[in-house]
A and B are shown apart, each in its own frame.
Chain A
Amino acid sequence: MILGNTLYFLREASSSFRRNKLMTGAAVVAMALSLVLIGIFLLAALNLNLFVDRIRQRVDIVVFLKDDLVDITALRGALEARKEVESVTYLSKEEALAEFKKQLGPKRSWVDAVDGNPLPASLELRLNHDHLNSIRQLSSWIESLDGVEEVNYGQRETELLSLVVKLILIFDLGLGLLLGASSFFMVFNTMRLAIYSQREEIEIMRLVGATDSFISGPYIIGGIAQGFMGGAIALLVLVALYNLSVVAMGRLLGVPLAIAFLPFNLSLAVAVAGILLGLGGSLASIRRFRAS
């Protein structure tokens, strides 16, 4: 009985597709397009976030020391005692200068012209990754310690990037809602037209005693199928766009790019979003006809 019904629903849904080819096609394309746009912004946010994470991982706190500081060991001990700090490396004034000269390479001659060593000694802190978020508090605490000239960390840059990621995600969410709503209405309208064009069948079905769930079955299956197709097309387009852009940009920049694609669960979410939109659209249109 259940199998029989399902077969009937599938038959009816596919014949409804064929009858309303244009509308159904348009709804599927609109949904795919919406999901592609949402996906592109998701990809952008995801990759930017990965980028920020990578920067964060490299970011250490650099504590520049006053030239008159004598007891480096005490300061170092205090820093090492913090649970956020994984390791502390001391860089003397001389080492700092040597490092600086090495970085400058051939342009180092002007440094040689300077008298003495203007660079401060420093302690470079490598942080525990679990505590990256408390970097700001840690920095201001270190700044208050004796003998500390200045504290430097990459926080400002990463904070800015994090903000950008957040903005993209918010924009993506807004865009998602807007495009999601429009896809929903496309499916809703397609289904409503299909229901309208089959109103005679539906009336007869009701009069001979078909249950509402039986009458709704083909439309629900149809909505799910439209959503699934929209989601699947969107995923394929995203994969294609991703591969094209990685190859194209890699060629442009001359280096292979480390851009990630959506992880499996997000890819699944794109497909599921399509299915849910389709299901929602068909359920809403069915509610309308049941009410009438």
Chain B
Amino acid sequence: MIRFYNVYKTYGRGVHALIGINVQIDKGELVFLVGPSGAGKTTFLKMVYREELPTQGQVLVNRLSIAKLKASEIPYFRRKIGVVFQDLKLLSHKTAFENVSFAQEVIGIPRTEAKSKTAEILRLVGLGGKMNLRPDQLSKGEMQRVAIARAVVNDPLVLLADEPTGNIDLETSLEIMELLRGSSSRGTTVVVATHNREIISRFKGRAIHLVDGRVSDDGEVS
């Protein structure tokens, strides 16, 4: 589903964010992207949803080379990828419900359909009773769930989560991780960037370690 072929990313003059990355992630896999901040995790994710292009090398997502996508094709490409952003990017003046339905309406899903799907997905992430609250009325974990709901509501092929458990207590983090695992078990490829080793050790599974832009280790966490 996701393939990186000898990918380099250099910002400006000589800031190397990624160096010679070779990675293959298959359909339905749940993969942790591990490493300290500045290791290149976010850059890696940004390439998967084509917010960044490699300076060198190839990135294929769902067999499409992201560098070859035309500008007009990018929106349609992104509809197959759900992203839980590090800063969540929830709209503060919209309710949880509106935040999720907004993401559907803007890609042309009819309002009634978007509404029923939003209600369903918010119940799934455990926010059935808080749909009409705004982000500032929700806890961090609940905001995280809204962001996840928004990312998965359009049934993406790939779900990317950038530090979804940052600043959240362990118990809530594990609940969040369960949601992501649920997505993966339904066939979605899930990539979770995190520096939370506790989570990784509890969950097990494949972890790709990034250090200074290089893959230092790629394998199952036992």
Contacts and interface: CB of A to CB of B under 8 A. Distances in A.
A208 B79 contact: yes
Contact of A207 (B83, B91, B110, B111): B83
A105 interface: no
At the interface, is chain B mostly helix, strand, loop or mixed?
loop
A207 B79 CA distance: 8
B49 A207 contact: yes
A7 to B, nearest CB: 8
B89 interface: yes
Interface stretch (A68-76, A156-164, A176-184, A196-204): A196-204
A203 B103 CA distance: 11
Contact of B75 (A1, A200, A210): A210
B160 to A, nearest CB: 11
A211 B110 contact: no
A171 interface: no
Contact of A208 (B71, B72, B78, B111): B78
Contacts of A5: 108
Interface residues of B, number: 24
B108 A200 contact: no
Contacts of A208: 78-79, 103, 106-107, 150, 154
A289 interface: no
Contact of A209 (B51, B71, B79, B91): B79
A4 B106 CA distance: 11
B11 interface: no
A214 interface: yes
Interface in B95-115: 102-103, 105-108, 110-111
B108 A207 contact: no
A204 B75 contact: no
B110 A4 contact: yes
Nearest to B71: A212
At the interface, is chain A mostly helix, strand, loop or mixed?
helix
B30 to A, nearest CB: 22
Nearest to A202: B106
Nearest to A7: B111
Interface string A78-91: 00000000000000
4 A-B pairs closest in CB distance: A209-B78, A209-B79, A210-B106, A209-B75
Interface residues of A, number: 18
B121 to A, nearest CB: 14
A215 B85 CA distance: 20
Contacts of A205: 106
A100 interface: no
Contacts of B85: 207
A24 to B, nearest CB: 19
Contacts of B75: 206, 209-212
Nearest to A200: B91
Contact of B91 (A4, A8, A204, A210): A204
Nearest to A210: B106
Contacts of B76: 209, 211
11 contacts: A4-B108, A5-B108, A200-B89, A204-B106, A206-B75, A206-B78, A207-B89, A208-B78, A208-B103, A210-B107, A212-B71
Contacts of B49: 207
A4 B115 CA distance: 14
Interface string A1-42: 100110010000000000000000000000000000000000
A204 B78 contact: no
Nearest to B105: A8
B109 to A, nearest CB: 9
A1 B154 CA distance: 17
B203 interface: no
A160 B171 CA distance: 91
Contacts of B89: 200, 203-204, 207
A8 B194 CA distance: 37
A118 B146 CA distance: 105
